Amino acid sequence: MDRNECLMLDGRLRIIEAFLQILQWGSMEVHLLIEFYLLKKPFDINWQIPSFLINFFKRCEIMDKLFLIGFMGSGKSTVGKKLSLILNTSYIDTDSLIEETYQKKIPAIFKEEGENAFRKYETDILHTVTAEIVSTGGGIVEKDENVKWMQKNGVIIYLQSNFDEITTRLEKDSFRPLWDKSLADRRKLYIKRVIMYEQYADLVIDTTQKDIEAIAHEIIHEYTYNYKPNREKYRKEILKG
């Protein structure tokens, strides 16, 4: 896609954005205007992202790296894979990459080498990732070095789930060393990490009782319309040619 085409898409993005700001006031007239005169089809309120926005991300290469953070069982890996399919871009899971690189399962690393060794591997792996969509381990925020690196190199998206839902999802999961604790210890770890997730996240997406497709589209929507700083930065880069 050449510069003029990118500018044309960016113009359409600005128009949609302006109308959506008005829509927040509940204007049915503007809603109908978008339906019949701009999009030429019913306006989809279920987070179905117009194809031209996805093409805008992929072909103009303006998308930041998206780092998915959240507690174990929040759906980071599944959502990350779905995002990569929708946006047709690269994806990696840091836990899987650790196991592949060090030829050892994570429970074995914890048992044989300890959590400190695992955290070192995690940091080393994080600094090597080149994928655009990155699902991270639940404890990635335990080290300031990791947080600063993600803040510098992309957008941090927190996939939020309440404790009860996490407990249900992990009920039959016996492969998470830090979850194999008493209920009180699990809750303590959950509260500790949630505080960090909320502190460091650029965007927060509630995943409670939502399907993967809806979560992925909501991430794209929130990134497109509510993550302003980087979008403005990239627009300036496009305009410079």
Residue 13: CB atoms within 10 A of its CB come to 18
Two tokens at 51? 């194809």
The whole-angstrom separation of Cα 95 and Cα 137 is: 6
174 is in an annotated binding site: no
Two tokens at 5? 């085409």
Q: Which amino acid is at 142?
A: E
176 is in an annotated binding site: yes
Q: Which amino acid is at 47?
A: W
77 is in an annotated binding site: yes
95 is in an annotated binding site: yes
75 is in an annotated binding site: yes
74 is in an annotated binding site: yes
The whole-angstrom separation of Cα 30 and Cα 22 is: 7
76 is in an annotated binding site: yes
138 is in an annotated binding site: yes
Contacting residues for 130 by C-beta, under 8 A, at least 6 apart:
90
The secondary structure element, H or E, covering residue 194 is helix 183-200
Residue 39: CB atoms within 10 A of its CB come to 16
The whole-angstrom separation of Cα 24 and Cα 44 is: 15
119 is in an annotated binding site: yes
The whole-angstrom separation of Cα 27 and Cα 24 is: 8
Residue 80 C-beta-side C-alpha neighbours within 13 Å = 28
Binding-site entries:
73-78, 95, 119, 138, 176, 193
**Residue numbering of the annotated binding site for ATP:** 73-78, 176
Binding-site positions for substrate read: 95, 119, 138, 193
Q: Which residues are annotated as a binding site for Mg(2+)?
A: 77
